[in-house]
Amino acid sequence: VTGTSTGFGRQLAELVLQKGEKVVATARRPSVLDDLVSKYPSNRLLVLKVDVNVPQDIIDAFAATKDKFGRLDVVLNNAAYVVMGELEAVPEEEARKLFDTNFWGAICVSREAVKFFREVNAPGVGGRLLQNSSIAGIIGREGMTYYVASKHALEGASKCLAAELDPAWNIKVTIIEPGSFHT
């Protein structure tokens, strides 16, 4: 799970752990997950420092997951953030940083996830790639131009990826489109 510091990522990581499953929780500041580390055993929880804007962090996280658990069934691309502002009001540098995280970060994680599901998991086991998008990526929302655009791009890329995958690999791509939540 990327982006487990707060919001959906944090809530999902906790829920999955409560259900007795194993979790690899990634965050730019892993210390914010210290309460989970003290609550759950290390054979069920692996916390890793990952900035989805740093490709080597992503590669290292998948390698650490392989070393720790030997397999991976589900990846949730969750790391993202919102910049509020109209198209002309948001500085280009800020908009590009948002796209780097919300779109390119998710794409880099997706590449590594597909590779792991295909090459590390046993043949035919595959895996499920969950893309945490937003209903805003479909319907648009004023004042959120760049966030909406990043989620729309993620939706399109995810649909293409799903169509490109060989069915024999048993890799599924699911787009999640939550509405507005206070996270």
Kindly state whether residue 77 falls inside one of the protein's structural domains: yes
Lay out the sheet containing 74-77: strands in order across.
74-77, 127-132, 171-176
> Which of 22, 19, 10 is closest to 78 using CA atoms?
10
The whole-number pLDDT of residue 56 equals 98
Number of domains in the chain: 1
Kindly state whether residue 132 falls inside one of the protein's structural domains: yes
> Which of 157, 28, 145, 132 is closest to 95 using CA atoms?
145
How big is the chain, counted in residues?
A: 183
With the C-alpha atoms ordered 103, 127, 51, 47, is the resulting torsion angle positive or negative? positive
Per-residue pLDDT of the chain (183 residues; tens, 9 = 90+): 999 999 999 999 999 999 999 999 999 999 999 999 999 999 999 999 999 999 999 999 999 999 999 999 999 999 999 999 999 999 999 999 999 999 999 999 999 999 999 999 999 999 999 999 988 878 888 899 999 999 999 999 999 999 999 999 999 999 998 876 665
For residues 134 and 177, the answer to whether their CB atoms sit within 8 Å is yes
Kindly state whether residue 182 falls inside one of the protein's structural domains: no
pLDDT in tens, 30-80: 999 999 999 999 999 999 999 999 999 999 999 999 999 999 999 999 999
Kindly state whether residue 183 falls inside one of the protein's structural domains: no
- Which DSSP string corresponds to 66-104? HHHHS---EEEE-------B-TTTS-HHHHHHHHIIIII
The whole-number pLDDT of residue 137 equals 79
The whole-number pLDDT of residue 183 equals 59
Its domain, for residue 109, covers 7-176
Give the position of tokens 């805003």.
Answer: 136
CA distance 123 to 33: 33
Domain holding 142: CATH number?
3.40.50.720
The whole-number pLDDT of residue 179 equals 73
> Which of 56, 61, 105 is closest to 81 using CA atoms?
105
DSSP state of 43: T
The whole-number pLDDT of residue 182 equals 62
Kindly state whether residue 29 falls inside one of the protein's structural domains: yes
CA distance 86 to 162: 32
pTM metric for this prediction: 0.94
Active site residues: 133, 147, 151
Kindly state whether residue 2 falls inside one of the protein's structural domains: no
Backbone angles phi, psi at 134, to 5 degrees: -165, 145
Kindly state whether residue 143 falls inside one of the protein's structural domains: yes
CA distance 69 to 106: 22
